[in-house]
Amino acid sequence: MLALALTGCGGGSGDDGGGGEGELAGASLAVGSKEFTESILLGHITAVALEDAGAEVEDRTGISGSATVREALEAGEIDMYWDYTGTGWVNILGNTTEDVPDDLYTAVKEADAEQNNIVWLEPAPFENTYRIAVPQAFGEENGLTNMTEAAAYINENPDQGAVCAASEFINRDDGLPGLEEFYGFEFSEVVELDLNLIYTQVGEECNFGEVFSTDARIVSNELTVLEDDKGFFVEYQGALTLRQETLDENPAIADIMAPISAALTDEVITELNGKVDLEGQQPRDVAEEWLTSEGLIE
């Protein structure tokens, strides 16, 4: 199944870059990602930076599902991909959304290294967490600004309580099931959609929808993000993950990626996501343009 999931996720890097002079000259690396825009974009940012340092990079971006891309990393099908601290804590390490440590990154980094020999490089300052959103007009009309108010509204108006969500969110403990239990309500209907379709269908098929907090389509589709006022959602700070053996063989990866990660703020990643989702630019082109404009590659 893993081999099937990886099929068609990309062959080469998109051009013949890499393999020349540089800190990673002679290295051959496969960069993966999950299937949504931000993850694919982060994969291309990583690939372009590694190529600039001389590596030959295979593009394996666009693998469907967190579990599948993580399995690919552990199996050596890919050498690295960006993941999120909340996913690491709950889905990879098997913890609950309760009793989350204050320094989640350090807890995830140390536990994953000890248990699985996986390295989490220094995280970027952006956080891309799950949120529930509603159409602006619907939210204003019904006084919905946070999840407590939304839960009360859905309990009182079950015929208005449909949610659009992707399959992964529907089945994750840190997603829909945990959210409903934590706030004491249940959506009356769950409409499963591809993640990329949700933003345009909130207000059409559903009054509520799963969104990612750094997605530029929240603004373009005039959605209001409901505050997680009781703090259910775990912190989802992005970081590049790779096997310890890969880093041991190519220690320069950490130094190359450190300034890049540090530059990826909430504002920056949201703008870059928008260039892909709203302007129709290709992720690799966006990655190259940003890295060059920031002086992070030559």
φ, ψ dihedrals at 247, nearest 5°: -70, -40
Q: Report how far residue 189's alpha carbon sits from residue 171's, in angstroms, rounded to the nearest whole number.
A: 15
User: DSSP secondary-structure letter at 146?
Assistant: B
φ, ψ dihedrals at 135, nearest 5°: -60, 140
- Rg of the chain in Å (alpha carbons): 20
Place of tokens 């579990």: 67
Q: Report how far residue 230's alpha carbon sits from residue 134's, in angstroms, rounded to the nearest whole number.
A: 18
Q: How far is CA 174 from the centre of its chain?
A: 14
Per-residue pLDDT tens listing for the chain (298 residues): 344 344 344 444 444 445 457 899 999 999 999 999 999 999 999 999 999 999 999 999 999 999 999 999 999 999 999 999 999 999 999 998 888 999 999 999 999 999 999 999 999 999 999 999 999 999 999 999 999 999 999 999 999 999 999 999 999 888 999 999 999 999 999 999 998 899 999 999 999 999 999 999 999 999 999 999 999 999 999 999 999 999 999 999 999 999 999 999 999 999 999 999 999 999 999 999 999 999 999 8
Tokens of 18: 């890499």
* Domains of the chain, first to last: 2-127+236-293 (3.40.190.10), 130-225 (3.40.190.120)
